[in-house]
Amino acid sequence: MGLVTAAWLVPDLWTGAVTGRIAVGSRVLLDASFAAARARLAVLASDGMLLEASEVAYGEGITGLVQVAGPAAGLTRLAGVRLGHLADTDDCADIALQWEAISADGKLFTALDADLMLVPARRARIDPSQTLAQAGDRITALALAGGYRPQPGPAGAGLDQAIVRHCASAAIRSFLDRVAGALVHPAGTAGTCRP
């Protein structure tokens, strides 16, 4: 028996861990050094600002979903935000982020499982035509990448995936806008970053 004949298809049960998730991600550039942004992110992770930005962003995403898909899509609310520890190196800072929500039937589910990351512009590859010196040390990229899940059950069933992706992406952009504003303007609040 050779190696090829010993292979078999992986059952759906194994791949079920990623079904129902929509890949989401976005990035914004900050006019701040990586060191300053990393230090400020550590403060934001401990002072509740990331929780507040998450609550507002989730609400905006659900409001958009209700406007397009109807009121049943809005029968959910954010129940909590889980943050991992800030893991950082000389050229990357990362915080694991989860949004836990309550569905229409009262069950808890993970609406977002993502990484919030900071990298210096010289690593972010902003514009391939720029040299590293042109990107400079004053520009930092803030990014979020992960998986978004609409609420399970009848309220989330049958939602058009393109609509869910659009609303999830809007929520992610709102979240990043608020975090970016707080990183660049420490005296500001999360609510002042987006009109």
What is the pLDDT, as a whole number, of residue 129?
58
The pLDDT of residue 78: 92
**Please, which residues bridge with residue 93 across strands?**
88, 118
- Model pLDDT, residue 12: 42
List the helix and strand counts (H, then E) for the chain: 6, 6
Cα→Cα distances 126→63, 134, 138, Å: 32, 11, 13
Would you state the torsion angle of the CA atoms of residues 144, 43, 174, 130, taken in this order, to the nearest 10 degrees? Answer: -50
pLDDT at 153: 73
Tokens linked to 49: 């600002």
What single DSSP character describes residue 191? G
| Terminal Cα-to-Cα distance of the chain (whole angstroms) | 65
pLDDT value of position 5: 41
What pTM was computed for the model? 0.78
Q: Are 159 and 147 in contact (CB under 8 A)?
A: no
Half-sphere exposure of 42 (CA within 13 A, CB side): 10
| pLDDT given at position 14 | 39
Walk me through the domains of the chain, giving residue ranges and CATH numbers.
21-186 (3.30.530)
E strand or H helix at 185, and its extent?
Answer: none
Cα 131 from Cα 22, distance rounded (Å): 34
Q: What integer pLDDT is reported at residue 60 of this predicted model?
A: 94
* 182 token code pair: 């707080």
pLDDT at residue 57, rounded to an integer = 96
Q: What local confidence, expressed as pLDDT, does residue 30 receive?
A: 92
Residues 57 and 170: their CA atoms lie apart, in Å, by: 8
Tens of each residue's pLDDT in the chain, 195 residues: 444 444 444 444 433 344 578 899 999 999 899 999 999 999 999 999 999 999 999 999 999 888 988 887 778 899 999 999 999 888 899 999 999 999 888 889 999 999 999 999 775 555 555 554 555 567 899 999 999 998 887 767 777 788 888 889 999 999 999 999 999 987 654 433 333
Residue 29 confidence (pLDDT): 92
Q: Record the tokens describing residue 36, joined without a space.
A: 């300053």
